[in-house]
Structure 1
Amino acid sequence: MDLEPDDIKAIILRMKRAHGHLASVIRMMEEGSSCETVLTQLAAVNKALSRSGYAIVATGLQQCLEAGDGLDGVDIKKMEKLFLALA
């Protein structure tokens, strides 16, 4: 499954936002923010990255289906392994 840059623009943008958000969390820690605030923001970054991973898997499956291969063209075990790696 090769991902075309045009097909994953939204995912890339989401990951760039998460990258910036993570930098903010690190800065908060360096500045001595409260544990609760840091953990809340870190959870948000984690969720954004997880959603990005799920979106990548979904995009790959969609590409396989649009290619006309149906599920026959999908290595189900490989996709399952990739999906579970996000859990």
Structure 2
Amino acid sequence: MAPAAKIPSMLSDDEKKKLQNRLRRVIGQVEAVGRMIEDEEYCVQILMQLSAATGALGKVGQIVLEQHLKSCVTEAIESGDAADRDEKLEELIKIFRKYAGVID
């Protein structure tokens, strides 16, 4: 994986706080799954908790992707720099493949 480039923040302080809160909830859900496994709780209950954590983490990803489209990708397109635009489009293709479960 290439090193991340330092870019201006795509998230406001309020958006960062909301994402951090979501991530704390995900961490709590994952920790709960660990306790449920240790306590040998019913498999279906564990699966339900895993589903909730996966959904919550997916929502964080959706928010970050949306902000990326609104900031970094839009900026690359509006800049008129064809190389920057093409790079951002390639990044998006890779991201969409991963989200769709198609990993190269």
Q: Tell me which interval the TM-score lies in, with the shorter structure as reference length.
A: 0.7 to 0.9
For 1:39 and 1:13, the matched residues in 2 are separated by 23
Contiguous gaps of at least 5 residues in structure 2: none
The reply on whether 1:78 has 2:91 as its aligned counterpart is: yes
Deviation at 1:86, TM superposition (A): 2.8
SS of corresponding position for 2:40 = coil
Return the structure number with greater relative CO, CA threshold 8 A, min gap 6: 1
How far apart, in 1, do the equivalents of 2:52 and 2:8 lie? 25
- Aligned residues of 1:54 and 1:86 also touching (Cα < 8 A): no
Distance in 2, matches of 1:38 and 1:60, equals 33
- TM-superposed CA distance for 1:69, in Å, is 4.9
CA RMSD after TM alignment: 2.6
* Corresponding pairs, count: 86
Query: Which residue number in structure 2 is paired with residue 59 of structure 1?
Result: 67
- The verdict on how the C-alpha distance between 1:12 and 1:85 changes in structure 2, with shifts beyond 3 A counting, is farther
- For 1:39, the aligned partner's letter is L
**In the aligned structure 1, how far is the partner of 2:16 from the partner of 2:25?**
14
Aligned to 1:34: 42
User: Which of these two proteins has the greater Rg computed from alpha carbons?
Assistant: 2
- Counterpart residue type for residue 92 of structure 2: M
TM-score by length of 2: 0.66
Q: Does 1:47 align with 2:60?
A: no
Deviation at 1:12, TM superposition (A): 2.0
Please tell me whether the aligned partners of residues 50 and 86 of structure 1 are also in contact (alpha carbons under 8 angstroms): no
For residue 49 of structure 1, report the CA deviation from its aligned partner.
0.8
Amino acid at match of 2:32: S
